[in-house]
């Protein structure tokens, strides 16, 4: 197929059957076109069809038919496109209830968005669908954990080691040469083109017991679904490190401590209840009670900052934690979904007290945690990554 024919083919698939394609569509393209038409019609978005000459078809209300459609799109499109189409089907055609059917669980392509949808249906899910849903969630969580665990443990443990400084390193291997050179620049001898260090800076060799406390507070309002998934996986990875004491709480208008479930992020996820209001102040108050060593603690609040409680008290609590020595991190989202919706007034108030509120991708989160553990200024970290 030449370039012109390929361009005509692509436009035909985009525009639908009313568009003309002189070279026609192959059998595979016809199947692809039917799958697209069932979802992206020009009707009212309900999938029930529209006036003559416009994309119609729709998926209707039949679980077997939808299951076949899900199988078709997995045949015709790559996984990344399938995930987008599944999400669009949820939004445009209202397929949430059909996900309660076990056969649907076997047909879908597991991804973070789907996990969020399943968690939002957790409380109404029949028993026969619950085990299938757990299997889907398990597949996604295991995949995420494989992707992030090694990088997270490596960067965070390195940060813990570097946060323990000594001016009397016992071995050459314990010397932080970059820090030593910076400390001794005044002792540079140009005639010898070298530095004569008068002060060594080394890594302290602490015990492998608990050295830092990490408290994760996760907003479980409906808009935070992807963030809840990623945060739960990262929480489980951090909890597996003996040098950290990791706590995880989720909140809406109530606060639930899920720390005991951190050995299994799937249990954490099914302990959440997506949707409902938000009481950030109550969650922060609970987390304050978990912090016993402020100077060795990192508090991570993951929330869109839409506060349903007492705003002024929430801000006072954050200020008090920061003044006590806690490294406070406020994430508006922990996901790959781009710029989030958030309460700009509260974000501005936090920034004024030296606590920047920003979105973070899962790939950048391990480095962010390493910076927080080392006590680096987070404003500089944010600016660096926004410019990158």
Which residues touch 120 (CB under 8 Å, ≥6 apart)? Answer: 96, 222, 225, 274, 275
* Residue with the larger pLDDT of the pair 186 and 171: 186
Give the whole-number percent of the chain exceeding pLDDT 70. 84
pLDDT band, very low/low/confident/very high, at 64 (cuts 50, 70, 90): low
Task: Tell me the C-alpha distance between 201 and 178, whole Å.
Answer: 9
pLDDT at 119: 83
Per DSSP, the residues of 119-153 read HHTGGG--HHHHHHHHHHHHHHHHHHHHHHHHHHH
Is residue 52 over pLDDT 60? Answer: no
Residue 50: pLDDT band (50, 70, 90) is: very low
Residue 46's pLDDT band (boundaries 50, 70, 90)? very low
Q: Looking at residue 204, what is its pLDDT? A: 60
Per-residue b or e along 42-81, where b marks 16 or more CB atoms closer than 10 Å to that residue's CB: ebeeebebbeeeebbbbbeeebeebbebbebbbebbeeee
Give me the pLDDT at residue 48, please.
42
The helix or strand, by DSSP H or E, that contains position 315, with its residue range, turns out to be helix 311-324
**Residue 300: its pLDDT value, please?**
98
280 neighbors 303 (Cβ within 8 angstroms): yes
Which of the pair, 380 or 48, is modelled with greater confidence?
380
**Which pLDDT does position 59 carry in this prediction?**
57
For 93-109, write each residue's pLDDT tens digit: 666 666 766 677 777 78
pLDDT in tens, 137-157: 999 999 999 999 999 999 999
Q: In this structure, is the dihedral angle defined by the CA atoms of residues 284, 239, 260 and 253, taken in order, positive or negative?
A: positive
Question: C-alpha distances in angstroms, 174 versus 77, 101, 202, 376?
Answer: 52, 58, 5, 21
Position of tokens 């009397």? 168
The predicted structure's pLDDT at residue 334: 95
pLDDT band of residue 264 (cuts 50, 70, 90) is very high
Q: In the CATH hierarchy, which fold is given to the domain comprising 208-386?
A: Rossmann fold (3.40.50)
∠ at Cα 51 (50, 54), nearest 5°? 80
Q: What is the pLDDT of residue 14?
A: 77
Taking only the tens place, the pLDDT of each residue in 346-381 is 999 999 999 999 999 999 999 999 999 988 888 888
Residue 388: per-residue pLDDT: 55
Tens of pLDDT along 199-252? 877 766 555 677 899 999 999 987 788 999 999 999 999 999 999 999 999 999
Least Cα distance to 249 among 210, 292, 295, 214 occurs for 214
The residue-averaged pLDDT of 41-66 equals 49
Q: Give the C-alpha separation, 224 to 112, whole Å.
A: 12
Q: What is the mean pLDDT of residues 166-183?
A: 74
Mean pLDDT of 114-130: 78
Q: Start-end ranges of CATH 3.40.50.410 in the chain? A: 208-386
């Amino acid at each position: 197929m030449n370039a012109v024919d390929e361009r005509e083919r692509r436009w035909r698939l985009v525009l639908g059957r009313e568009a003309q394609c002189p070279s026609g569509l192959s059998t595979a393209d016809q199947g692809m076109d039917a799958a697209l038409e069932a979802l992206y019609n020009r009707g009212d978005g309900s999938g029930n069809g529209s006036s003559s000459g416009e994309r119609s078809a729709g998926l209707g209300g039949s679980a077997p038919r939808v299951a076949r459609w899900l199988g078709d799109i997995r045949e015709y499109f790559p996984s990344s496109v399938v995930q987008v189409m599944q999400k669009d089907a949820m939004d445009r055609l209202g397929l949430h209830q059909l996900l309660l059917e076990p056969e649907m669980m076997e047909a879908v392509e597991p991804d973070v968005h789907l996990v969020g949808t399943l968690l939002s249906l957790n409380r109404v899910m029949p028993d026969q669908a619950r085990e299938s849903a757990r299997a889907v969630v398990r597949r996604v969580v295991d995949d995420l954990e494989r992707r992030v665990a090694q990088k997270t443990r490596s960067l965070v443990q390195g940060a813990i080691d570097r946060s323990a400084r000594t001016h009397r390193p016992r071995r050459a291997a314990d010397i932080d040469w970059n820090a030593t050179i910076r400390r001794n620049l005044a002792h540079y001898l140009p005639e010898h083109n070298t530095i004569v260090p008068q002060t060594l800076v080394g890594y302290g060799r602490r015990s492998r017991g608990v050295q830092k406390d990490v408290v994760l507070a996760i907003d479980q309002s409906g808009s935070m679904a992807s963030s809840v998934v990623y945060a739960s996986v990262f929480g489980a990875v951090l909890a597996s490190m003996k040098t950290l004491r990791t706590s995880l709480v989720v909140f809406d208008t109530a606060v639930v401590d899920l720390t005991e479930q951190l050995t299994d992020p799937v249990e954490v996820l099914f302990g959440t209840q997506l949707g409902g209001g938000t009481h950030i102040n109550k969650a922060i108050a609970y987390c304050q009670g978990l912090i016993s060593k402020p100077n060795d603690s990192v508090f991570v609040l993951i929330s869109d900052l839409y506060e349903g409680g007492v705003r002024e008290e929430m801000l006072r609590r954050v200020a008090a934690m920061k003044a006590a020595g806690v490294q406070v991190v406020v994430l508006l989202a922990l996901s790959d979904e781009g710029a989030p919706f958030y309460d700009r007034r509260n974000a501005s108030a936090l920034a004024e007290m030296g606590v920047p509120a920003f979105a973070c991708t899962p790939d950048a989160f391990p480095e962010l945690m390493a910076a927080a553990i080392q006590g680096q200024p987070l404003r500089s970290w944010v600016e660096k990554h926004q410019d990158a």
